[in-house]
């Protein structure tokens, strides 16, 4: 339910994988726009810290734990966030993913267990979380999924990660058609290499990686991706659905 206050309507957003990195940046970006912000992560300490920062920014904040690969966990989270939101979840940002710990290996050497883990979190997770949130999404609700620009470059030695993020784009299109019947939009953001803590742990030259390939010759910061989420969650994108917005400083033109 969107609540009317002296400051205007307050909408509720749920951001998964918000214990740090890009998820935390999303949470703080929504807080700055006056949203009521629910954050969730399998890392409860990280989620609690993000919720504290949201409150410090002057917004309502709530933190919970979720395992996005577990149907019961996602359903429990969705119910709790709907209660926090006064009966509904206006915006769902499916940000939770396995990324920084993914082993880079030729396709012949990828551990099948790691393949299943990556697919479970990165692809099954957005499906389960959206399925759980669906009963609480009102007409005009928004779902924002996170893919990766690496889907378009086909990054070598990362078949499981790239395939999982490609699947998110395909899943988004189906969700857009099905949820569109209820007036709900579903879109994807595909960030380029962004300087989160996880990214910095992947490469020694993370701060300069790929900068020379971009139209904008600087490294991407988490805050560079936030504007796309705010747009896709906001009123100006009400007739945009099933789309993928690449945010990579012009490293690729799709």
Active site (catalytic) residues: 161
Considering only CA atoms, which of 15, 137, 132, 133 is closest in space to residue 72?
A: 132
Sign of dihedral through CA atoms 79, 34, 221, 192?
positive
> Which residues are within 8 A (CB) of 163 and not within 5 positions of it... i.e. 6 or more apart?
119
């Amino acid at each position: 339910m969107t609540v009317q206050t002296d400051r205007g309507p307050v909408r509720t957003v749920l951001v998964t994988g918000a214990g740090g990195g890009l998820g935390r940046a999303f949470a703080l970006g929504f807080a700055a726009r006056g949203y009521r912000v629910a954050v969730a992560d399998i890392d409860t300490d990280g989620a609690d810290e993000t919720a504290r920062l949201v409150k410090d920014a002057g917004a309502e904040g709530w933190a919970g734990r979720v395992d996005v690969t577990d149907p019961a966990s996602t359903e429990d989270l969705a119910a709790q966030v709907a209660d926090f939101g006064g009966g509904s979840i206006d915006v769902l940002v499916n940000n939770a993913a396995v990324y920084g710990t993914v082993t880079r290996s030729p396709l012949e050497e990828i551990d099948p267990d790691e393949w299943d883990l990556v697919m479970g979190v990165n692809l099954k997770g957005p499906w389960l979380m959206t399925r759980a949130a669906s009963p609480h999404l009102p007409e005009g609700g928004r779902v924002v999924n996170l893919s990766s620009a690496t889907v378009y470059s086909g990054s070598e030695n990362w078949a499981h990660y790239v395939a999982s993020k490609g699947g998110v784009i395909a899943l988004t299109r189906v969700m857009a058609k099905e949820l569109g019947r209820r007036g709900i939009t579903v879109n994807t953001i595909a960030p380029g290499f962004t300087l989160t803590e996880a990214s910095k742990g992947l490469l020694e030259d993370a701060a300069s990686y790929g900068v020379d390939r971009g139209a904008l010759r600087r490294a991407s910061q988490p805050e560079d991706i936030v504007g796309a989420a705010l747009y896709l969650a906001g009123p100006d994108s009400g007739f945009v659905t099933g789309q993928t917005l690449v945010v990579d400083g012009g490293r690729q033109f799709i």
